[in-house]
Amino acid sequence: MKNLMNFRFAFFAIVLLIIACGLYIVLPRYSQTNKQERKDSVIKIGAIVFLTGNQSTLGSEVNNAFNIAMEDINKKGGLNGKKVQLIVEDSKDLPKDGIMAFNKLVMDKIPIIITTGDVVSLSIAPIANKDSVILLTTIAAGSEITQNGEWVYRVWIQAERQAKAIADYTFQNLKIKKSAILFINNDYGITSSNIFKRIFTQFGGTITGMDSYSIEQKDIKNQIIKLIQNKPEAIFVTGFGMGYANCIRQLRSMNYKGLIVTDNTFSIPFFQEQTKSANEGIYFTSTLFDENSMDSISYNFSKKYFENYNMKPSFVGAFAYDALNLAIHCIEQGEYNNIKMKYVLNNLNNYKGLIGNIKFNKTGEIDFPLVIKKMEKGIVRIVSDNAY
């Protein structure tokens, strides 16, 4: 009897040992599979935004627009039953921080990333192209960004295109024959000023003087004195940052009576508010986006933006919203495969966004309607007969 009990005890001990070994082998695999299933059930998109630094005002609007786009897509159940997650990193508008953020997102195997800003986008673009990561750049107008290869796209108004449009309108429509140029001292400003000069003089106009300012420069008076002494009929101001707002304010405070023509920076309510005492009669490049429009897409976006943030969005938010929705669209059509998604972008045909019907040309530049607007008695209206 004792031997039988010992046998039963040994038998059960062996069975328990076998079960324990089985669980040791199976459970981690189950846990790993379960974890992988949870991971695969989320579609990740990366974004590198200047949330802090000199451009943080614009970065806030970009992030706000992203939040609305994410809310819209996940309310619909995400993509193919999977939740969409946007991972936003702060570049501080510094190339070093932007590259670190890009590498972090790539380590997370994210195949499509949105970036903001000229200097950051220009630094990341060659790396993204080498790694075959789709890069959608916005608030980045510098000419060289999309020249870095087939994986880089721009969802913003190219500097050359803006400068050509406003130079054309200034000479042909406003009948200005003499203009000066005041530009921000960086790649964007140098490109814009040179293009404006070339187009304006090709029409037969004369550039009476050119000078530059820095992004945060407070006192622009010395540059303005030099420019207005040659009596230009108009001054083309191009750039961004507080230096840009100071240019416009100080031109009027120094009693310059000629026209001020400028680029899409003036479309941003922040800069309209900063220059409120001096911005009557300014002409500027912009998009068809109108925060007061009753068009269903624009109306719904503007309504949600105001409800969430107690302010109206500008075309900065419109571009950001469109950029993220373009990323979502090409993931939906391209199955989260970088090659398939690139094919979707390259073959986009009149995708309807907030800024109008969108498609990309062969070099990754966005094609959409560009118009000229004017500030009149605190109200902005379109003045160009045709889109540029």
Q: How many domains does the chain have?
A: 2
- Write out pLDDT tens, residues 44-92: 999 999 999 988 989 999 999 999 999 999 899 898 788 999 999 999 9
Query: What distance lies between CA 330 and its chain's CA centroid?
Result: 17
Q: d(Cα 344, Cα 234) in Å, to the nearest integer? A: 43
Q: Are strands 366-367 and 356-360 parallel, antiparallel or unpaired?
A: antiparallel
Instruction: Report helix angle 159-172 to 187-202, nearest 10.
Output: 30
Q: Which residues of the chain have pLDDT under 50?
A: 1-2, 4-5, 7, 9-11, 15, 20-39
> What domain range includes position 211?
160-262
13 lies in some domain: no
pLDDT of residue 368: 86
Domain check: are 95 and 194 in the same one?
no
Q: d(Cα 16, Cα 67) in Å, to the nearest integer? A: 53
Q: d(Cα 359, Cα 187) in Å, to the nearest integer? A: 25
Contacts of 308 (CB under 8 A, 6+ apart): 64, 67, 68
Domain check: are 166 and 236 in the same one?
yes
Domain check: are 170 and 225 in the same one?
yes
Tokens of 275: 């220059």
Which CATH number is 237's domain given? 3.40.50.2300
387 lies in some domain: no
Return the exposure string of 92-108: e unless at least 16 CB atoms fall within 10 Å of the residue's CB, then b: bbbbebbbebbeebbee
307 lies in some domain: yes
Contacts of 110 (CB under 8 A, 6+ apart): 44, 45, 46, 87, 133
With H, G, I as helix, E, B as strand and everything else as coil, classify residue 86.
Answer: strand
pLDDT of residue 12: 53
Nearest residue to 331 via CA among 38, 75, 49, 84: 84
Place of tokens 């995708």: 351
Domain check: are 153 and 164 in the same one?
no
Domain check: are 149 and 58 in the same one?
yes
| Residue 82 DSSP label | B
- Write out pLDDT tens, residues 33-55: 333 333 467 899 999 999 999 88
Between CA 202 and CA 323, with CA 384 as vertex, the angle to 5 degrees is 95
pLDDT of residue 14: 54
Contact 154, 366 (CB under 8 A): yes
- In order of 83, 85, 129, the CA distances from 105 in angstroms are 18, 12, 15
With H, G, I as helix, E, B as strand and everything else as coil, classify residue 46.
Answer: strand
Domain check: are 124 and 171 in the same one?
no
Residue 281 exposed, middle or buried by CB count within 10 Å (0-12, 13-18, 19+): exposed
With H, G, I as helix, E, B as strand and everything else as coil, classify residue 228.
Answer: helix
pLDDT of residue 167: 98
